[in-house]
């Protein structure tokens, strides 16, 4: 029933939570953040910038993927490297998504309605093909509903004539609230924004960019972003469930904030894994700069060194990956075994992984 939605609660938007329970989760996540910061301190500025760009690219791809949009990783990395300082003549989805996240983590410290409108225009530079009448760079002119694939309404946003008032309160709090830990502030801000659901489309991506915007001050320039969307994309059901369960009822959001801060902690750990993987990759190519590899070997080694690749290599898989015969695959692998680049897996002599001492 509509009256059960949080925005109809007499205390909305005064969210409450158990500070003792939340503090425990904050301390855990802060310790993980310090590990990540310390790892960044141990690498060169050039290496740091390269890895940060890679992290940003992953986050852009993941937040789009949550909404069912698939982007090209190479094009995203090119867009970040070029920094896309102008919004003129943006050509594709990769540049669009990169521009929004870069503005969130490196742009102005004040959030305004116009800035959100700019993000919305960036996400829909050519309008919405599914709804040509959808307002672009403006709040929705119809009351928003969230429906399941079968058409069942699972959330009804506030009435259109209240959106400006809701968003003005939200933006005033977002800019003025300084007494709340950034992890808590990011969690409340994301829930609050999604409850208002001000745009006809793009609320999820903009809401997650607001998380990055809030966290940038806590993360410092040495980190810029965590892999929060990269983590969420693998647990979308839990993410949507957390938002859905907290769209109605009382104003206590303790359980939601525990989930949210635990998600930040998991995202930070994922960032550490990515960072370690990038450091390993750079060290591999530095140590083997003089070693000769054929094109097939280079292709597979790049795959093995990618932080997302967790599988082992077999001769059959090598053959499929490089479109070569089983015999050629065997020769390629045997060559890398002799060079000390690969070793047999502990579980099988027919499975191969990168050698730890590379």
- Residues belonging to the binding site are 201-208, 239-240
Phi/psi region, residue 40 (left: phi>0; alpha: psi -120 to 50; beta: rest), is alpha
CB 80 within 8 A of CB 53: yes
Half-sphere exposure at residue 3, Cβ-oriented, CA atoms within 13 angstroms: 0
Say how far apart CA 119 and CA 109 lie, in whole Å: 15
Q: Residues with Cβ < 8 Å from 65, sequence gap 6 or more?
A: 71, 229, 233
Match 């693998």 to its residue by tokens: 234
Say how far apart CA 171 and CA 139 lie, in whole Å: 14
- SS3 at position 342: strand
Our separate counts of H helices and E strands in the chain read 14, 4
Residue tagged active-site, from 9, 197, 306, 355: 197
CB 145 within 8 A of CB 91: no
For the question of residue 197 being annotated catalytic, the response is: yes
The residues pairing with 345 across neighbouring beta strands, listed in sequence order, are 348
Number of other CB atoms surrounding residue 97 within 10 Å: 25
Annotated binding site for ATP: 201-208, 239-240
Does the N-terminal peptide bond of residue 13 adopt cis geometry, omega within 30 degrees of 0? yes
Which residues are known catalytic residues?
197
């Amino acid at each position: 029933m509509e009256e059960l939605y949080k925005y109809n609660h007499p205390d909305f938007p005064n969210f409450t939570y158990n500070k003792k329970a939340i503090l425990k989760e904050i301390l855990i996540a802060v310790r993980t953040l310090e590990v990540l910061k310390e790892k960044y301190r141990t690498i060169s500025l050039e290496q740091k910038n390269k890895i940060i760009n890679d992290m940003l690219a992953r986050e852009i791809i993941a937040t789009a993927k949550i909404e069912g949009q698939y982007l090209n990783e190479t094009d995203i990395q090119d867009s970040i490297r070029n920094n896309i300082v102008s919004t003129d003549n943006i050509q594709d989805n990769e540049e669009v998504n990169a521009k929004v996240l870069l503005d969130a983590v490196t742009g102005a410290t004040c959030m305004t309605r116009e800035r959100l409108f700019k993000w919305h225009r960036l996400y829909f530079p050519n309008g919405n093909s599914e709804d040509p009448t959808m307002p672009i760079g403006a709040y929705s002119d119809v009351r928003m509903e969230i429906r399941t694939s079968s058409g069942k309404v699972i959330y009804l946003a506030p009435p259109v004539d209240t959106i400006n008032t809701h968003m003005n309160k939200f933006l005033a709090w977002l800019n003025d609230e300084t007494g709340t830990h950034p992890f808590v502030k990011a969690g409340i801000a994301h829930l609050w924004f999604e409850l208002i659901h001000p745009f006809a489309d793009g609320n999820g991506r903009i809401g997650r960019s607001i998380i990055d915007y809030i966290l940038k001050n806590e993360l410092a320039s040495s980190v810029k972003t965590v892999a929060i969307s990269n983590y969420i994309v693998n647990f979308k059901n839990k993410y949507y469930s957390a938002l859905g369960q907290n769209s109605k009822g009382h104003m206590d959001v303790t359980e939601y904030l525990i989930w949210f801060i635990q998600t930040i902690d998991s995202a930070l750990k994922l960032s550490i894994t990515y960072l370690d993987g990038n450091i390993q990759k750079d060290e591999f190519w530095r140590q083997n700069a003089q070693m000769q590899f054929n094109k097939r070997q280079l292709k597979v080694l790049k795959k093995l060194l990618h932080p997302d690749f967790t599988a082992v290599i077999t001769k059959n898989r090598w053959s499929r990956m490089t479109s070569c015969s089983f015999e050629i695959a065997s020769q390629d692998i045997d060559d890398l075994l002799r060079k000390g680049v690969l070793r047999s897996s502990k579980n099988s002599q027919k499975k191969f992984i990168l050698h730890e001492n590379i």
